[in-house]
Structure 1
Amino acid sequence: MDSLYSMLALDEAEQTPGKSGTPRVVLTDQLDLQETRSSVWYISPGQQTTYHTQATQEELYFQIQGPGQIQLGDELIAVPERSVIKVPPATPRRLFNESNQQHVWLVVGAPPVENDGRPIQ
């Protein structure tokens, strides 16, 4: 029988760099998630994630610590702490940080397709 739950302390979790070099905790791997691809991203001042779309995944961006900043298409959006944004697959997006404090985001994508991101040059 499967365990009733899995728990991970983020302060003790393994961080790995994303394609942009931005540190993240890949919850999908560390919690053995089956139905979503999920990560916690740590965006330091001056950092940004790769500008991209998704082929299939709808993504949910939950701003944990911030306030955060996200680019959706040509629009730059200030995201208050503890706010959530849903982004359809074809919408170009990137997280960025022009503030002087770290931003922390929980990003959840479904369905759980690996290598679904499509970088935009």
Structure 2
Amino acid sequence: MSDDYSMVQVHDVEPTPSASSGTDHVDLVSELGCTEMRPKVWYLSPGDAMSYHRQTEQEELYYVLEGPGRMKIEGDLIDVPEGSAVRIPPETNRQVLNDTEGEHVWLIVGAPPATDDGRPADEDA
């Protein structure tokens, strides 16, 4: 078997709460040994919300695995249908939230793989 790839069954990994928002997620960076990106699977129960933030360096890809999803982007609430992807540049304020009755599941990938790249949306650039 080739060592040129890694694989994980996401549902076999125990989600842990985010340090900033408390939202459960599976950190695929550590599970897969990622070095050029920061992928995570996020589980938002009804009423959950990630912090409203922007990034210093990271461009982020948001993909709704189960939804529909909801996002706040630069103050505008948008619906993100299941199976849809959204790309957001670093300086754009964003938040994933769940104001519905069902669970939302997102794949969110940031690159480059900067650690602790997020900052509050109201913090000066």
**Cα distance per residue 1:43-92 (max 9 Å; x no partner):** 10000001100000000000110000000011100000000000000111
Q: Counterpart in 2 of 1:10?
A: 10
Question: Which runs of no fewer than 5 residues in structure 1 stay unpaired?
Answer: none
Question: In structure 1, the residue corresponding to 2:29 is in which secondary structure?
Answer: helix
Give the letter aligned to residue 66 of structure 2: Q
Q: Counterpart in 2 of 1:73?
A: 74
Give the letter aligned to residue 52 of structure 1: H
Q: Establish whether residue 56 from structure 1 lines up as the match of residue 57 from structure 2.
A: yes
Structure 1 runs (4+) deviating above 4 angstroms are: none
> Number of residue pairs matched?
120
Q: Counterpart in 1 of 2:47?
A: 46
Q: Counterpart in 1 of 2:114?
A: 113
Q: What is the percentage of aligned positions where both structures have the same residue?
A: 46
Question: Which runs of no fewer than 5 residues in structure 2 stay unpaired?
Answer: none
Question: In structure 1, the residue corresponding to 2:63 is in which secondary structure?
Answer: strand
Which one is further off, 9-18 or 106-115? 9-18
The alpha-carbon deviation at position 14 of structure 1 amounts to: 2.9
Query: Aligned-pair RMSD on alpha carbons?
Result: 1.1
The alpha-carbon deviation at position 15 of structure 1 amounts to: 1.4
